[in-house]
Amino acid sequence: MFKKILIANRGEIACRVMRTAKRMGIQTVAVYSDADADALHVRTADEAVHIGPAASAESYLVIDKIMDAIRQTGAEAVHPGYGFLSENAAFAEALEKEGVAFIGPGIKAIGAMGDKIESKKLAHAANVSTVPGYLGILADDTEAAKVAREIGYPVMIKASAGGGGKGMRVAYNDDEVVSGFRSAVNEARSSFGDERVFIEKFVEEPRHIEIQVIADKHGNVVHLGERECSIQRRHQKVIEEAPSPFLDEKTRAAMGAEAVALAQAVDYSSAGTVEFIVDADRNFYFLEMNTRLQVEHPVTELVTGLDLVEIMIRSAAGEKLPFTQDDIKMTGWAVESRIYAEDPYRGFLPSTGRLVRYQPPVESDTVRVDTGVYEGAEISMFYDPMVAKLCTYGDTRIEAVDRMGEALDRFLVRGIGHNVDFLSAVMAHERFREGRLSTGFIAEEYPDGFHGAPVSEEIENAMRAVAVAAESAYTERNRMISGQTPVSDRNLPQGAWMVRHDDAAEGADAHAVDGGFDVTIVGMTYAVH
């Protein structure tokens, strides 16, 4: 087993990899830019190496700087996390030449799956279901319109080297193909340095469901079930869950078998994800394969009981998978919400600044927080705006969703804009709770943007109870300071507090108990601690 690994990443994923490595007795090395000098992943690692200016193009994306850090520290292996160099075949090749293990798949698999056009050809050859489309290189917008008509509208224009929703456009007619082709080409060129785009059929009422695969270097490949990632905004995932509320056992088994077949076709090792689009009739079509760990991997860990990072490390060290497909069971339900530094009330504009207050909910067997920040840390303009990933587990989907709602209510963030209110609204949304999901959920349910969510009468009364408890605590504190008899010792009449709302008033009682107050309002008693 490795004695020291370097994590070629930052933020919450770097911290998450370090957590497993330390549990395994492996020393960890962090790399950091100017902007991350005081970052949590730097504080968490056993060693840290400065690799350059804040801009990722001058630090985290520079292979030579990562290689220098490896040589300085004597790291035997590198975990790339996700993003940055995680799917860069040139980086994996540089590590191989240096004799350093890459905690990820082989160069062949990274290269084959990194090109969307070539990956679809490989998938087709491996008898994996693919979306009808044209996988040739489109010469211009005229050819794009001709191909789109042959496929049949609507169509999706996609960048071959794309990811994260960049270089993607949906078109319903020739004019939209022409404009979409031009903008997709421009965005692909600026984002990836590769202007190639292709066209495929756009699946309406789609669900985004992905299969987690894991493999060793001895040819063993298994799948760990699926994740539903349909709740997206501008092609970026927001909420994920495992399993999917839509799949039946037959479809799950078929998707899993195709994912394993594709992985075997490219001699895959380590953790990877095969992404599918699924229509209303449970027909599924291959989208792409991500040759890395996914942001949403914790939900799979919660329902399988496996540590994917540990399996990746052991696979890279040459160990065989300690289980077969028959050993894999999904138990219960898990949901993940991505806490972003963005303002949902202002069109989800990015937010930067200092985390004046940062208090995530307490972790437990049913609540997990993966984060790369701390109270007082800075949210920089240079990197992804994710603050944390909040995951909850339950025996049933509704139990996991309800726990997520409760955990979000306990997530305190001040100093920056954040999307906690929006995530809470989604958890309470009837359509979401019923599992009627699609990739268009957010656009369909919030067509004019997010402006808050209606509050139930029960929640309103609970908020009034909190107000009464806060005022009671304030009053009692003032009385104690002045030497008067505490409120809790006084024999106050019923309805001593009056709570006004919408020109109406309700009487409320507050009784001090250990750690807080029991507040009675409109016949209900609330424990406010």
**What is residue 279's DSSP assignment?**
-
Confidence (pLDDT) at 133: 84
**The two structure tokens encoding residue 52:** 């350059």
| Phi, psi for 417 (deg, rounded to 5) | -75, 150
Across all residues in the chain, what is the average pLDDT? 91
SS3 389: strand
Q: How confident is the model at residue 120 (pLDDT cuts 50, 70, 90)?
A: confident
Q: Which residue has the higher pLDDT, 263 or 487?
A: 263
Please choose, from the candidates 384, 370, 412, 411, the residue with its C-alpha nearest in 3D space to the C-alpha of residue 41. 370
Cross-strand partners of 271: 214
Contacts of 475 (CB under 8 A, 6+ apart): 487
Reported residue count of the chain is 529
Confidence (pLDDT) at 261: 96
Confidence (pLDDT) at 286: 94
Residue with tokens 């999904």: 330
Q: What percentage of residues in the chain have a pLDDT greater than 90?
A: 72
Listed range (146-160, 214-228, 359-373, 493-507) with the worst mean pLDDT: 493-507
Query: What is the distance of C-alpha 339 from the center of its chain?
Result: 9
Query: What is the distance of C-alpha 335 from the center of its chain?
Result: 10
Q: Which residue has the higher pLDDT, 389 or 510?
A: 389
**Residue 191: pLDDT over 90:** no
**What is residue 130's DSSP assignment?**
B
Confidence (pLDDT) at 139: 86
Listed range (21-25, 316-320, 348-352, 491-495) with the worst mean pLDDT: 491-495
3-state per-residue secondary structure call for 97-112? HHCCEECCCCHHHHHH
The model's pTM is: 0.85
Please choose, from the candidates 334, 152, 354, the residue with its C-alpha nearest in 3D space to the C-alpha of residue 244. 334
SS3 69: helix
Taking residues 139-159, report their average pLDDT.
90
Taking residues 333-346, report their average pLDDT.
97
Confidence (pLDDT) at 490: 47
Confidence (pLDDT) at 485: 60
Query: What is the distance of C-alpha 144 from the center of its chain?
Result: 33
**Residue 493: pLDDT over 60:** no
Cross-strand partners of 414: 357
Task: Note the pLDDT tens digit of each residue in 421-476.
Answer: 999 999 999 999 999 999 999 999 999 999 988 777 778 888 888 888 888 777 77
Confidence (pLDDT) at 494: 53
Please choose, from the candidates 435, 39, 498, the residue with its C-alpha nearest in 3D space to the C-alpha of residue 207. 435
Confidence (pLDDT) at 163: 63
**Residue 488: pLDDT over 60:** no
DSSP secondary structure string for all residues of 109-128: HHHHHHSHHHHHHHHHHTT-
Q: Which residue has the higher pLDDT, 446 or 477?
A: 446
**Residue 491: pLDDT over 50:** no
- The C-alpha angle with vertex 310 and arms to 307 and 312, in degrees rounded to 5, equals 110
Catalytic residues: 288
Q: Which residue has the higher pLDDT, 508 or 394?
A: 394
Confidence (pLDDT) at 487: 55
User: Could you tell me the end-to-end alpha-carbon distance of the chain, in angstroms, rounded to an integer?
Assistant: 48
What is the rounded distance in angstroms from the CA atom of residue 254 to the CA atom of residue 240?
21
**Residue 353: pLDDT over 50:** yes
**The two structure tokens encoding residue 86:** 């995680």
Confidence (pLDDT) at 81: 97
Cross-strand partners of 412: 359
Taking residues 259-264, report their average pLDDT.
96
Contacts of 30 (CB under 8 A, 6+ apart): 6, 7, 10, 14, 18, 41, 42, 44, 45, 47, 48, 49
Please choose, from the candidates 3, 12, 4, the residue with its C-alpha nearest in 3D space to the C-alpha of residue 387. 12
Q: How confident is the model at residue 324 (pLDDT cuts 50, 70, 90)?
A: very high
Taking residues 347-368, report their average pLDDT.
96
How far apart, in Å, are the Cα atoms of 434 and each of 243, 401, 405, 428, 437?
14, 11, 15, 10, 8
8 Å CB contact between 35 and 50: no
Task: Note the pLDDT tens digit of each residue in 30-77.
Answer: 999 999 999 999 999 999 999 999 999 999 999 999 999 999 999 999
Confidence (pLDDT) at 30: 98
**Residue 523: pLDDT over 90:** no
Give the range with max mean pLDDT: 195-199, 318-322, 494-498.
318-322
What is the rounded distance in angstroms from the CA atom of residue 301 to the CA atom of residue 469?
39
Q: How confident is the model at residue 153 (pLDDT cuts 50, 70, 90)?
A: very high
Residue with tokens 């505490």: 486
**The two structure tokens encoding residue 221:** 């490949």
Confidence (pLDDT) at 164: 60
8 Å CB contact between 162 and 186: no
Question: What residue ranges define each of the domains in the chain, with the CATH number in brackets?
Answer: 4-103 (3.40.50.20), 106-128+204-331 (3.30.470.20), 132-201 (3.30.1490.20), 337-447 (3.30.470.20), 457-528 (no CATH)
**What is residue 522's DSSP assignment?**
T
Confidence (pLDDT) at 335: 98
**Residue 108: pLDDT over 60:** yes
